[in-house]
């Protein structure tokens, strides 16, 4: 059942999550274990799943407030630069003294596929107590978004606030962390990729998840998750709610860098849901936004603005 909302009714989004600097290394291919490989380039840019998702929604015209935690110094400025340019409200973002801003080391091969290692830095300092200042903002929002790049107790507290206020909660369980079962039940939707979906199902049921993606999605819903979106890269997504379980296909594009594309999807999905769209309709636009993002380099740099033409489905 869709969660009742007590927000503004105008599409106000609160994103609570991670903010990083991405160190992106271009490589001809991903190295084998123990292998030294010569890279072909590098760059530093804003990242973090929370900041990425907030930036994607803001660039598409969303009313977005981002609550994150950074260290001090120039990395914090870089990490928040594109969010500021996109018009996101950063008044709930905090500098943490004596802690580094989160760092993600991303390697991208010539086919556009990436692998990522994350150092949490200030993102790891989130605690349930830090959420207290956001209780009112949760109640005033039409949608709250979070991810698995901040500690599970903070995500659990955020989910409790959403349940108490009747605010819809989108949880992107990436990476999979040990959140409470009630948090998964509050998620509407739970957004996962194929492997994350299987891990979430195993955590909920204690049983081995099936190989079939659609069956995994349906079993997640039977285990108590209100709605599920499973992203599948170029194959699009599986969407399941009380109405039906359907496939949403992705446009065919030539990918140059998949970094942050899933976050572009989530940001666009959040925007549609906050504005009152049905899950399947919001997902159809979100796959087009994700497809747009893979045709450009970087994470936030690759996201479309309001006037950009999205690939046709």
Q: Which residues are annotated as catalytic?
A: 263
- Over the range 72-102, which residues count as b (16 or more CB within 10 Å of their CB) and which as e? eeebbebbbebbeebebbbeebeebeebbbb
Show Cβ contacts of residue 258 under 8 Å, excluding neighbours closer than 6 positions. Answer: 108, 112, 113, 114, 233, 294
The residues facing 26 across adjacent strands are 41, 108
Report DSSP state, residue 239. Answer: E
Angle at 265 between CA 175 and CA 248, to 5 degrees: 105
Give the residues across from 95 on adjacent strands: 70
The answer to whether 23 and 104 are in contact (CB under 8 A) is: yes
Residue 48 to residue 237: CA distance in whole angstroms? 22
Q: How far apart are CA 262 and CA 267, in angstroms?
A: 9
CA separation for the pair 24, 122 (Å, rounded): 20
């Amino acid at each position: 059942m869709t969660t009742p909302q007590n927000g503004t009714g105008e599409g106000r989004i609160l994103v609570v999550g991670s903010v990083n600097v991405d160190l992106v290394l271009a490589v001809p291919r991903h190295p084998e274990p123990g292998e030294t490989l010569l890279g072909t380039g590098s760059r530093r840019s804003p990242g973090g799943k929370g900041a990425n998702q907030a930036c994607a929604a803001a660039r598409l015209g969303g009313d977005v407030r981002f609550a994150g935690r950074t260290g001090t110094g120039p990395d914090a400025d870089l990490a928040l630069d594109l969010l500021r340019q996109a018009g996101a409200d950063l008044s709930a973002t905090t500098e943490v003294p004596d802690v580094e801003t989160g760092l993600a080391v991303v390697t991208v091969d010539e086919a556009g596929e990436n692998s990522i290692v994350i150092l949490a830095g200030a993102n790891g300092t989130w605690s349930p107590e830090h959420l207290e200042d956001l209780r009112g903002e949760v109640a005033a929002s039409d949608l709250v978004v979070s991810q698995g790049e901040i500690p599970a107790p903070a995500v659990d507290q955020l989910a409790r606030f959403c349940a108490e206020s009747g605010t819809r909660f989108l949880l992107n369980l990436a990476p999979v962390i040990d959140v409470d079962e009630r948090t998964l039940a509050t998620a509407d939707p739970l957004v996962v990729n194929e492997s994350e979906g299987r891990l979430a199902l195993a955590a909920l049921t204690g049983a081995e998840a099936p190989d079939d993606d659609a069956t995994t999605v349906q079993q997640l819903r039977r285990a108590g998750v209100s709605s599920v979106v499973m992203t599948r890269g170029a194959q699009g997504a599986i969407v399941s709610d009380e109405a039906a379980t359907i496939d949403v296909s992705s446009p065919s594009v030539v990918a140059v860098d998949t970094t942050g594309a899933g976050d572009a999807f989530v940001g666009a999905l959040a925007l549609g849901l906050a504005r009152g769209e049905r899950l399947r309709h919001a997902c159809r636009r979100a796959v087009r936004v994700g497809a747009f993002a893979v045709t450009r380099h970087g994470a936030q740099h690759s996201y479309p603005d309001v006037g950009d033409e999205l690939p046709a489905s």
